[in-house]
């Protein structure tokens, strides 16, 4: 779908979208359309139950050959109209018109009581429409008319089209990163496995990102026994992908400065998780194709940062494995040695993501010396028991960093919730025969998983995001259709913008 901008005007034909405030108060553009249709708009509104409340809409059909239909979108109170409300509005407009019109013409006005300018509002609506337009239908060989979208052009009229376009351009690039993540998460495991996921990451070289791919032999030489132990039951060779984006000029001086240190994003990339020898129940196991969601977010985020030319130096590292049961698979009770030298007793082969991240985090910290590390993983079902599907779990060794990410999440509507950590939880993963075990007791499963990861980050500022409950949606939202959500790309991009590009 093409998104374009134009200066304020009232189109004479086609489908038009206008805003109506609570109490049936027409915006300036809505009033102009009402005048152009000889009061048809207001007559229809008065004859309906539509009051202009947020999330409500009314479609008014008009004579053929002129304006075909006018969609009145409820805005609610002007003081409640913010970026997230406008993004949701854009998604709802797309949903309303996708089956009915080839072109949507959206008229935006500044509102008394709203902090945003008209061009900013236009950019947010455009972002919401694009996010809401996502679909993954590449394997549908027989598409019926109602399955697809007729809406090919989404045109927004506002006070300054040039300013609106400029405001939308970086958001458009972030959206590309979100879509890339959604695509990766949606692919079936017979198509997306470590080698093919690494190949997808390799495409980022077109954006100026340096991409390295480590194979099994290289990881063995580096001593990544934790990651390799997970992979040994699969016919697919594991990979580790390192993506380097340099968007900040090098600090002047003979020696590297702290200002040159990158931020690092690390993702769990289990392309299919059967549970290994500790095999999962068959019901719902098909969902485990998206157990590589953390890696998908890191790859999509790197695309977003490079696409919008973010002024930051960033490293993205993803450990890619498939966890399968076989004659060569890791067994419960095995002891593996991680790259850090710490020995791990594997009590449950289905607690594999933390083993992958253990080596990925240590490698990243040791090689790149980042000022901050943030890892993402669909790590535990326990986080869904605690938080459901509306928040990701956040764990950190730095409360200020945790607060920054929480704030960024609220800005973009990707909410996180910080959970506690501490020595009492850390004791729960001490092993009788090794340095640690990969699971604790039944209780606090998400916390003990985070405590496990903490043992591999040293003194570096670090956040762990458990995104198991938010990576896939079975219901969908205006800006996130059912399926892969891409949760995390916008959150981390916003944090980078807020804290690292000042």
Continuous segment of H or E residues that includes residue 436: strand 436-437
Closest CA to 118 of 84, 174, 157: 157
Rounded CA separation 296/322 (Å): 15
Q: How many CA atoms lie within 13 A of 143 on its CB side?
A: 12
**Rg of the chain in Å (alpha carbons):** 25
Q: Which 3 state secondary structure label does DSSP give 267? A: strand
Which is the catalytic residue, given 280, 410, 461, 477? 280
443: burial class by Cβ within 10 Å (0-12, 13-18, 19+)? Answer: exposed
| Helix (H) / strand (E) containing 25 | strand 25-26
Cβ 472 vs Cβ 486: under 8 Å: no
User: Residue 280 catalytic?
Assistant: yes
DSSP state of 265: E
Does residue 15 sit in helix, strand or coil?
Answer: strand
Query: Phi and psi (nearest 5°) for 298?
Result: -60, -45
Q: Please check whether residue 293 is in contact with residue 467, taking contact to mean a CB–CB distance below 8 angstroms.
A: yes
Q: Give me 163's structure tokens.
A: 């300013």
Tell me the helices (H) and strands (E) count for the chain, helix number first: 15, 20
Q: Which residue has the tokens 């190949």?
A: 199
Find out whether 207 and 306 touch, Cβ atoms under 8 Å. yes
Alpha-carbon distance of 245 to 374, in angstroms, equals: 16
CA 393 to chain centre: 14
* Tokens 């194979």 sit on residue: 215
Annotated catalytic residue within 354, 454, 455, 490: 354
Residue burial 19-46, b: 16+ Cβ < 10 Å; e: rest: bbbbebebbebbebbbebbeebbbebbe
Handedness of CA 125, 127, 131, 134 (dihedral sign): positive
The catalytic site residues sit at 280, 354
């Amino acid at each position: 779908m093409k998104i374009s901008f134009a200066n304020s005007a009232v189109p004479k034909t086609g489908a038009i979208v206008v805003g109506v405030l609570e109490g049936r108060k027409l915006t300036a553009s809505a009033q102009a359309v009402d005048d152009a249709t000889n009061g048809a708009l207001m007559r229809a509104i008065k004859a309906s139950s539509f009051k202009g409340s947020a999330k409500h809409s009314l479609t008014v059909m008009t004579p053929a050959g002129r304006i075909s239909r006018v969609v009145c979108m409820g805005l609610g109170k002007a003081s409640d109209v913010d970026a997230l409300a406008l993004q949701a509005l854009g998604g709802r407009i797309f949903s309303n018109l996708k089956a009915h019109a080839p072109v949507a013409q959206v008229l935006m006005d500044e509102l008394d009581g709203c902090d945003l300018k008209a061009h900013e509002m236009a950019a947010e609506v455009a972002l919401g429409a694009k996010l809401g337009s996502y679909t993954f239908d590449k394997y549908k060989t027989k598409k019926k008319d109602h399955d697809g979208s007729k809406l090919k052009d989404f045109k927004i009229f506002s006070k300054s089209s040039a300013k609106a376009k400029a405001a939308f351009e970086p958001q458009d690039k972030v959206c590309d990163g979100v879509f890339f993540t959604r695509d990766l998460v949606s692919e079936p495991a017979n198509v997306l496995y470590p080698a093919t996921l690494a190949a997808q990451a390799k495409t980022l070289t077109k954006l100026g990102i340096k991409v390295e791919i480590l194979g099994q032999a290289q990881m063995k030489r580096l001593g990544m026994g934790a990651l390799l132990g997970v992979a040994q039951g699969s016919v697919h060779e594991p990979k580790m992908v390192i993506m380097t984006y340099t968007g900040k000029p090098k600090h002047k001086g003979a020696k590297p400065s702290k200002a040159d240190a990158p931020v690092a994003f690390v993702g769990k990339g289990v392309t299919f998780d059967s549970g290994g020898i500790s095999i999962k129940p068959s019901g719902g196991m098909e969902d485990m194709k998206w157990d590589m969601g953390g890696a998908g977010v890191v790859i999509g985020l790197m695309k977003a940062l490079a696409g919008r030319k973010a002024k930051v130096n960033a490293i993205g590292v993803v450990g890619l494995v498939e966890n399968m049961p076989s004659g060569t698979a890791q067994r419960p009770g095995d002891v593996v040695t991680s790259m850090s030298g710490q020995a791990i007793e594997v009590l449950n082969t289905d607690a594999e993501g933390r083993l992958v991240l253990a080596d990925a985090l240590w490698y990243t910290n040791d090689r790149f010396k980042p000022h901050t590390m943030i890892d993402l993983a669909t790590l535990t079902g326990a986080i869904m028991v605690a938080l459901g599907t509306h928040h990701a779990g956040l764990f950190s060794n730095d409360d200020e960093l945790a607060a920054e990410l929480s704030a960024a999440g609220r800005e973009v509507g990707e909410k996180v919730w910080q959970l506690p950590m501490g020595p009492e939880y850390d004791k729960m993963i001490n092993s009788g025969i090794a340095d640690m075990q990969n699971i604790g007791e039944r209780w606090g499963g998400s916390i003990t998983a985070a405590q496990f990861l903490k043992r591999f980050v040293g003194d570096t500022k670090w956040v762990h995001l458990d995104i198991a409950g938010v990576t896939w949606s079975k219901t969908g939202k205006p800006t996130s259709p059912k399926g892969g959500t891409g949760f995390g790309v916008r959150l981390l991009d916003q944090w980078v913008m807020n804290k690292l590009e000042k």
